[in-house]
Amino acid sequence: MTQSMGTTPSAHEEHLLLRRLRISGAEVVAAGGVAGMGAAFLLSPEHIEDGPVICPFRALTGLPCPGCGLTRSWVYAAHGWWQESFASNAFGMVLVAALLALAVVVVVRRVRRIPPPDLDKVMRRPLALGVLGIWLVYAAVRLAYAL
């Protein structure tokens, strides 16, 4: 019997419902990325350099962390200021592209009722590890240059 007829769902029906409603890590990351990109459209690229330092590492040391400049990079990219985006953090647009791709995959899989990708497996792929390695080298070079 169904719940609409006044009876409670069976344990199996409850399990299926919870399974459909469960949100994966990939969905959380994709939603956060899309929200961040949406916020980037709302911020003015003309005043983004005037904001406070929100990076704890940079606030304490004055040195850039691997993620320093990503907010500015996303704001510049959202407004078509490609050169400034790249100068703020060369991996800003790479991260935007990766998050948009993840969001599309998550939505398509959700619509098709296929489980979302497992981020642990995705991050262990050679391409992901290579990009991460290059990002860390880039961060080390930026840090060394700042010293």
**How far apart are the C-alpha atoms of 121 and 145, rounded to whole Å?**
34
pLDDT of residue 1 exceeding 70, the answer is no
Average pLDDT, the chain: 87
Name the pTM for this structure: 0.76
pLDDT of residue 3 exceeding 60, the answer is no
Domain ranges across the chain: 24-146
Q: What is the pLDDT of residue 84?
A: 96
Looking at per-residue confidence, does 23 or 92 come out higher?
Answer: 92
pLDDT of residue 88 exceeding 90, the answer is yes
**How far apart are the C-alpha atoms of 27 and 7, rounded to whole Å?**
32
Amino acid at 116: P
CB 84 within 8 Å of CB 76: yes
Of 33, 51, 26, 56, the C-alpha closest to 123 is 26
Q: What is the pLDDT of residue 147?
A: 86
Per-residue pLDDT reduced to its tens digit, 38-56: 999 999 999 888 878 888 9
Mean pLDDT of 13-31: 76
**How far apart are the C-alpha atoms of 77 and 68, rounded to whole Å?**
15
pLDDT of residue 4 exceeding 80, the answer is no
Q: Which of 42-56, 90-104, 129-143 has the lowest mean pLDDT?
A: 42-56
Amino acid at 32: G
Question: In what helix (H) or strand (E) does residue 97 lie, and over which residues does it extend?
Answer: helix 92-111
Indicate the pLDDT class of residue 33, thresholds 50, 70 and 90. very high
